[in-house]
């Protein structure tokens, strides 16, 4: 069994919040997280986009840069990047082997209460990979929450909190203030924190946490001006900050919502620049204009030539952002291919999207948390009785059914669904370029 196959056996251990296991693992690995400067990015939505922009800009500034994100879409290696390139299987297997060896020693010594989870193992492997590659700075995306997330062992002196919304309420709490408190757990004493949060209640929690920990808070929109225009579905921004002006940057990532993410990334990169880390207007613009983040308003071509847009929206705020783009880009009507997890706000996710669809294909991904396709179909019918809904047992069958319609297609509802759709498209041999 290869290390990656061994890791796959941990996929169904579930979510475990807390840092004890991670602290034991990194200690047994001789603290790989101390070999690089960590930057941590938390938030309900936008954290992956900001991570991609910041990592790309730091690389453009000439720094050896690592990037750790989750989940992956089609292959585990996507979670780990060195200088904007996903690591290869050999490097990942070597890191995982080291992590499993450390876990075995700890279990034998009674230093762990039980086996590590999938996410704990991949996070420890990321730090090992970064150390082996000689990474100078690593941008680390939080998996869930912040305070008890496995990534938070890095104790980052630089952090961003992109947004606060209602998601993962079972683990994080059922109010914006409670969720903000969990995400503010990434704020370390004396750190510099850039916040894109604008709602009063969670913004207050973040500000109070910064004050209590003597951290410097930079509100992304404060003393800044952001101008946004849309051009054929792309987002073009002009940004003024206290440090400089950025004129008409066409963002690599589509959607008007990416403007707010770009502002967070710029303010964080400028703060790093002021401390002598990376920097320069050209590098920052490169980060915005060249960031790569698949599965987020990603356009591909279906068999037969129609356009499909793949988006990882999986909560109400993400769905609202997708719906805004869908409408402004003139992409409606289109066939919606969707799958959802049973622990999500399914109605809140679907409500913004259904009015823009002329048909829906409901499916399910092969995970225990997945909502069965038939039940999803019933919930869609309850929200939009006049809308034609088809049930497809698998994502592959859903994509094939969508292709037969020879119409525009939107795939959304779950990142796991987007990953399955990308795999299906790759098997068709079609181009993965904008239509």
| pLDDT of 22 strictly over 70 | yes
Give the model's pLDDT for residue 369: 86
The residue whose two tokens read 């997280």 is 33
pLDDT tens string 157-212: 999 999 998 766 567 776 999 999 999 999 999 999 999 999 999 999 999 999 99
Tokens of 388: 């034609």
Give pLDDT, residue 434: 44
Bigger pLDDT: 14 vs 32: 32
Whether 237 has a pLDDT exceeding 60, the answer reads yes
Q: What percent of the chain has pLDDT above 90?
A: 88
Which residue spans within 31-82 are E strands per DSSP? Answer: 37-42, 65-68, 80-82
pLDDT at 429: 77
Are the CB atoms for 227 and 263 separated by under 8 Å?
no
Show the domains of the chain with their CATH numbers.
3-290 (3.40.1190.10), 298-428 (3.90.190.20)
Nearest to 118 by CA among 87, 96, 86: 96
Q: Mean pLDDT, to the nearest integer, of 409-418? A: 96
| Residue 257 clears pLDDT 80, i.e. is over it | yes
Q: Are 51 and 139 in contact (CB under 8 A)?
A: yes
Count CA within 13 A, CB hemisphere, residue 167: 20
**Arithmetic mean of pLDDT, 404-428:** 95
- Give the per-residue pLDDT at 433: 45
Lowest model confidence (mean pLDDT) among 64-68, 170-174, 248-252, 295-299: 170-174
Q: Show the beta-strand stretches assigned E in 200-356.
A: 216-219, 225-231, 234-240, 245-250, 298-301, 307-310, 334-338
- Mean residue pLDDT across the chain: 94
Residue 201 · residue 180 · CB < 8 Å: yes
What local confidence, expressed as pLDDT, does residue 16 receive?
A: 67
Q: What is the pLDDT of residues 356-402, one digit of tens each?
A: 999 999 999 998 889 999 999 999 999 999 999 999 999 999 999 99
225-231 sheet: strands from edge to edge:
225-231, 234-240, 245-250
Residue 18 in this model has a pLDDT that exceeds 90 = no
d(CA 421, CA 162): 27
For the chain, the residue count is 435
- CB count within 10 Å of CB 242 equals 10
Determine the pLDDT at residue 430. Answer: 54
Least trusted range by pLDDT, from 35-39, 215-219, 329-333 = 329-333
Instruction: Kindly state the tokens that stand for 402.
Output: 């969508």
pLDDT above 70: residue 2: yes
Per-residue burial over 365-399, b = 16 or more CB atoms within 10 Å of its CB, e = otherwise: beeeebbebeebbeebeeebeeeebbbbebbebbb
Q: What is the C-alpha separation between 29 and 33, in angstroms, rounded?
A: 10
Q: What confidence score (pLDDT) does residue 226 get?
A: 97
Copy the structure tokens of residue 354. Answer: 């259904």
Whether residue 435 has pLDDT greater than 70: no
Give me the mean pLDDT over the 101-119 stretch.
95
- Which of 126-140, 326-340, 420-434 has the weakest average pLDDT? 420-434
Confidence at 432, pLDDT banded by 50, 70, 90: very low
| β-strand partners of 219 | 195
């Amino acid at each position: 069994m290869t290390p990656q196959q061994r890791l796959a056996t941990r996929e169904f251990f579930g979510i475990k919040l807390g840092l004890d296991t991670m602290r034991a693992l990194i200690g047994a690995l001789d603290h790989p997280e101390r070999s690089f400067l960590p930057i941590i990015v938390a938030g309900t939505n936008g954290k992956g986009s900001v991570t991609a922009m910041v990592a790309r800009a730091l690389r453009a500034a000439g720094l050896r840069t690592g990037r750790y994100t989750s989940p992956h879409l089609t292959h585990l290696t996507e979670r780990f990047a060195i200088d904007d390139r996903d690591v290869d299987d050999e490097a990942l297997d070597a890191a995982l082997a080291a992590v499993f060896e450390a876990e075995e020693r700890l279990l034998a010594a009674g230093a762990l209460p039980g086996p590590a989870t999938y996410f704990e193992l991949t996070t420890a492997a990321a730090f090992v990979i970064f150390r082996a590659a000689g990474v100078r700075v690593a941008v680390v995306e939080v998996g869930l929450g912040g305070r008890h997330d496995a990534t938070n062992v890095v104790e980052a002196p630089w952090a961003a909190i992109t947004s606060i919304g209602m998601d993962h309420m079972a683990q994080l709490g059922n109010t914006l203030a409670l969720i903000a408190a969990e995400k503010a757990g990434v704020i370390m004493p004396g750190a510099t924190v850039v916040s894109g949060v604008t709602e009063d209640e969670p913004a207050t929690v973040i500000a109070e946490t910064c004050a209590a920990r003597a951290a410097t808070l930079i509100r992304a929109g404060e003393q800044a001006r952001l101008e946004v225009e849309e051009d054929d579905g792309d987002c073009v921004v002009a940004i003024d900050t206290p440090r400089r002006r950025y004129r008409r940057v066409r963002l690599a990532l589509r959607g008007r919502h990416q403007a707010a993410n770009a502002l967070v990334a710029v303010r964080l990169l400028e703060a790093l620049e002021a401390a002598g880390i990376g920097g320069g207007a050209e590098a920052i613009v490169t980060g915005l204009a060249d960031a790569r983040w698949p599965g987020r308003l990603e356009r591909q071509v279906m068999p037969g030539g129609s356009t499909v847009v793949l988006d990882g929206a999986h909560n109400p705020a993400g769905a609202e952002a997708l719906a805004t783009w869908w409408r402004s880009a003139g992409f409606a009507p289109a066939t919606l291919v969707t799958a959802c997890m049973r622990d999500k706000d399914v109605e809140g996710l679907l409500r913004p999207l259904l009015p823009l669809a002329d048909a829906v294909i409901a499916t399910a991904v092969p995970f225990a948390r997945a909502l069965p396709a038939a039940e999803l179909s019933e919930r869609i019918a309850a929200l939009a009785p006049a809308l034609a809904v088809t049930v497809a047992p698998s994502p592959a069958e859903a994509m094939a059914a969508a292709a037969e319609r020879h119409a525009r297609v939107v795939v959304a509802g779950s990142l796991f669904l987007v990953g399955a759709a990308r795999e299906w498209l790759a098997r068709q041999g079609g181009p993965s370029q904008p239509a």
